[in-house]
Amino acid sequence: MYFRISNTADKNLLEAWSNASLKYPNLYKPQIIINGLNEVTIPIITMEEKEKISLAIWGLLPEEYNEDWTLFQNTLNTLNLNVEHMDSSIWYTEAYKQRRCLIPVTGFYTSYLRNGEMYPYYVGLKSGKPFYLAGIYNKLEDGFITCSVLVGKASRFIEKIQNLTDCMPLLISSTERSDWLSEETSLNRLKELLNSDEDDLFHAHPIAKEFFNNDISYDSMLLPYEYVKSNFK
């Protein structure tokens, strides 16, 4: 469901806000839509390098995996992983315990099915500033990092603008950043971090349906779009 995110923060803003430096500044660029269904890299802050903003391929792969990213994602899409599964013995739970990351974004997207038509929504902070999505990562033998966004039960705010799924990306506040990235944080504390409620800090609005066209991205795409009211009730 959550295969697209947005990060429109420029280098200076991202570094100043996160209090971390870009590890590969020449490779970073703001993007209105980052489509994870393509093989893309996104900025992350890892437990190993807490003061650096690294780049990771979006879509977690097992550490010992050595075949093509697309082959794995076509078999098991790991752009999102549900936090409810982290108590199991499935292969990626070790990353949750030992390799957590923060994924800075300025927004994410969801959709609502209404009268037989799909309407996209953009979700971001009222302030317009970046915020962190909770994630986990693995490092492959060749040194590349792969990651996944953690999702969990949708908040009351998100439930109002989506009806195709009951989950949402999980957020980590800047004040709880150190706890999320700490090796000493208990599993119970991790659950507390993922259950924080910050709905009142966010806003959402419908955007143009060109969003669904993977080949289209323009500066005004994030602006509110007014649909015909008779079709939008």
In the numeric block, which tokens belong to residue 149? 């966004």
Note the pLDDT of residue 231. 56
Place of tokens 């609005």: 205
Q: Of 200, 14, 222, 27, whose CA–CA distance to 104 is shortest?
A: 14
Grade residue 233 by pLDDT with cuts at 50, 70 and 90.
very low
Which class does domain 4-231 fall in? Answer: alpha beta
Give the three-state DSSP class for 93: helix
**Residue 186 CB burial class (10 angstroms; 0-12, 13-18, ≥19):** exposed
| For the chain, percent of residues with pLDDT exceeding 90 | 88
User: In sequence order, which residues have a C-beta less than 8 Å from that of residue 134 and are 6 or more positions away?
Assistant: 83, 100, 102, 103, 149, 150, 169, 170, 171, 172, 180, 193, 194
Mean pLDDT of 54-74: 96
Tens of pLDDT, residue by residue over 97-148, are 999 999 999 999 999 999 999 999 999 999 999 999 999 999 999 999 999 9
Residue 188 has pLDDT above 90, yes or no: yes
Q: Where are the domains of the chain?
A: 4-231
Mean pLDDT of 13-38: 96
